[in-house]
Structure 1
Amino acid sequence: MSALSLIGFTRYDPCARWIDGSFWLAARTPHGPGSIRLHPQVEAHGPGGPWLLERAPGMLGELDDVTGFAPEHPLLKRLKPVTLPRTGLVFPRLMRAICEQKVTGKEAYQAYSAIVRHFREEAPGPVAGLLLPPSPEAILGTPYWGFHALGLEQRRAEVLRRAAFEAPRLESCVDSAALAKRLLSIPGIGPWTVAEVTRLVFGDADAVSVGDFHMKNFVSWALAGEPRGTDERMLELLQPYAGHRGRVCLMIESAGLGAPRYGPRAPIRNFRSF
């Protein structure tokens, strides 16, 4: 799994897209909006362009540190390595993670995409239709019920608004530990959301998504042949890979090593009438 494949929310992310063979990312930076092409060449546009160019090596995974990662498990030896990006962009990843809380992937993407398109603002640069993520100010200025039509119920909408209020302090965090501490102080944000954010923002290879509906089963099945697991069992199996536990989870997930399924799929809900 490449670093770029982890940045966007599917290939149809309105803020991070593959367009004619090039990977583009739109972002709000401390110096203003910008866009950057990361593949096959690197180029940036807009007031935020220089800021994005400085962070291009991290986004491309060139700062990923695999020191000490030498898995002995036969399965892990066969799996392709995962390269982690380091974007430095907190609020967009946090917004996406909040959309993903306790819902199906389809529900999460629909809400995330609808929010971005609702606050539609095109990124500077040559790519038409590449959109900037909404600003924290725009999110904070929208009442929670304004997000119902966009796919968020009151709980996630309120968490998103609280995150927007904290955005300046979150963006000032200098490392994964500081960001995790600040995130956990926000009601409605727990270990799962923290791991999802710090893994992408700071390339935290040890960030484990505790509380994930599927991951505990994926890890238990892949590493121990157990079709169902718990968070405690997952952490026990991952302990030999301390420092790279999140990397192991991504390797297992990207290889498609899902556990056997039991029961019906979760239904897709609609909050537009709320």
Structure 2
Amino acid sequence: MSLVEPPSAVADAADGATRWVTDGPYDLHQTLGILLRSNSDPSIAVHPDGWWMAFSTVDGPVTLRLVQGPPEVSGAQVIDAQAWGPGAASALDNLSALLGEGDSWSDFDAGTSPSGTPFPTPLPHHVLEARRRNKGLRLPSTGRIVDSLVPTILEQKVTVIEARRGYRYLVKRYGSVAPGPAPEGLLVAPSPTDWLAVPSWEWHKAGVGPQRSATVMRALRSAVALERLALLPSAEASAKLQTIPGVGQWTAAEVLQRTHGCSDSIAVGDYHLAKFVGFALTGQRTDDAGMLALLEPWRGHRQRVVRLLGLTGARAPRFGARMSIQDHRGH
């Protein structure tokens, strides 16, 4: 995989542009899909003309457009990137990590752990088949801790619908317009300073309870230190995240899946995940301990296995109580 200079027509249309080329399979939608917080995510827009993303960098805000072209005759896959705004150069410098260049599946495909030890239990046929059909999947690394941490905290112990509704409200209220010729409505999420300025009644209007809003506030008072975690190995970054009161194993795992492309990060404590993994691997639902036991033979690649299970089409039966959507905004 490599970055090469794009055609001049592409470069002239933006503050910065480049082309990312890989000689193997690649799927932009599968790779970046984990970053999308619903189809109405205010900071990501997926259109026929590409993926549009707005976010903050150390140099300022940026709008990034990514387009996957048809495979070249050689089989190479091409992603063209254009960027607008003060953060254009910074965003393009991090492009290969965002697109998953550092995520190697070679050990997984060889049936070994990252240390080279053979799997004690072979992967199930349907997982191998999902991998065969989805060779273009990569695990992205955004390197942006705050942008991942805030919406993840908002998803703690509530339905995804409720959490994403609140996140959408707050970004629209306190975010900023994306630079350049961005799609209408595309926004840069609030900076740590802007998040810290959100008054209590606005959290309430967003349906975010005081426990979650307080966790966001505690975390972002050390925003500079938080962003440095992107430079640490996944295990160390996870441990440091969990020193923040209100940030536990589930939250840290969800963050690192996006910021570090962590191939072994498992969201223990997720309301549905253990049941799904149990059903997908054994036909029976299980709990967190059972899920970890089932995935243990593939330690080092457990997140890869979970992602592939999601691509098998398996769905756990829905029985029993479901988490209800609550709305306290009118109270």
TM-score, normalised via structure 1 length: 0.94
Q: Aligned letter for 2:98?
A: M
What is the SS of the residue equivalent to 2:46?
Answer: strand
Separation in structure 2 between the aligned mates of residue 10 and residue 65 of structure 1, nearest angstrom: 27
Q: 275, 290, 310: which is aligned to 1:253?
A: 310
Pairing 1:112-131 to 2, within 5 Å after superposition: 112-127=167-182, 128-131=184-187
The amino acid that maps onto 1:179 is: A
Aligned ranges 1:167-246 → 2 under 5 Å: 167-173=223-229, 174-175=231-232, 176-226=234-284, 228-246=285-303
Measured in 1, the distance between the counterparts of 2:54 and 2:298 equals 34
Identity of aligned residues (%): 37
For residues 72-127 of structure 1, give each alpha carbon's deviation from its aligned partner in whole angstroms, at most 9, with x where no partner exists. Answer: 21121121444211111111111110111111111111011111111031011111
Tell me the residue number matched to 1:102.
157
Match of 1:36 in 2: 64
Whether 2:124 is the aligned partner of 1:73: answer yes
The answer to whether 1:156 aligns with 2:212 is yes
User: Which of 130, 133, 157 is matched with 2:189 structurally?
Assistant: 133
C-alpha contact (below 8 Å) 1:37/1:43 kept by paired residues:
yes
Q: Write the distance in 1 (CA, Å) between the matches of 2:310 and 2:216.
A: 27
Quick one: distance in 1 between partners of 2:123 and 2:235? 28
Question: For residues 31-83 of structure 1, what are the alpha-carbon distances to aligned partners after superposition, in whole Å with 9 as ceiling and x for unaligned?
Answer: 11111112232011111111110111122222212132135211211214442
Which has the larger displacement, 120-129 or 231-240?
A: 120-129
Q: Over the residues paired in the alignment, what is the CA RMSD in angstroms?
A: 1.6
Show the counterpart of 2:98: 59
Which 10-residue stretch deviates more, 186-195 or 116-125?
A: 116-125
Compute the displacement of 1:211 (Å): 0.5
- Give the deviation of 1:160 after TM superposition: 1.2
Q: What is the count of residue pairs matched by the alignment?
A: 273
Structure 2 length as normaliser, TM-score?
0.78
Match of 1:88 in 2: 143
Question: Computing the radius of gyration over CA atoms, which structure comes out larger, 1 or 2?
Answer: 2
Secondary structure of the equivalent of 1:172?
Answer: helix
User: 2-side partners of 1:88 and 1:13: how far apart?
Assistant: 19
SS in 1 for 2:149: helix
Q: Is the 8 A contact 2:127 2:312 kept in 1?
A: no
Q: Any unmatched runs of 5+ in structure 1?
A: none
How big is the shift at 1:204?
A: 0.4
Please say if residues 278 and 294 of structure 2, whose CA atoms lie closer than 8 Å, have aligned partners that are also in contact. Answer: yes
- Preserved CA contact (<8 Å) 2:31 2:138: yes
Inter-partner Cα distance in structure 2 for 1:29 and 1:204: 21
Counterpart of 2:35, as a letter, is I
CA contact (8 A) 2:130 2:311 kept: no
Indicate the structure with greater strand content. Answer: 2
Counterparts in 2 of 1:254 and 1:93: CA distance versus 1, 3 Å: farther
Q: Residue type of the partner of 1:7?
A: L
The 3-state SS of whatever aligns with 2:53 is strand
Q: Is 1:27 aligned to 2:51, yes or no? A: no
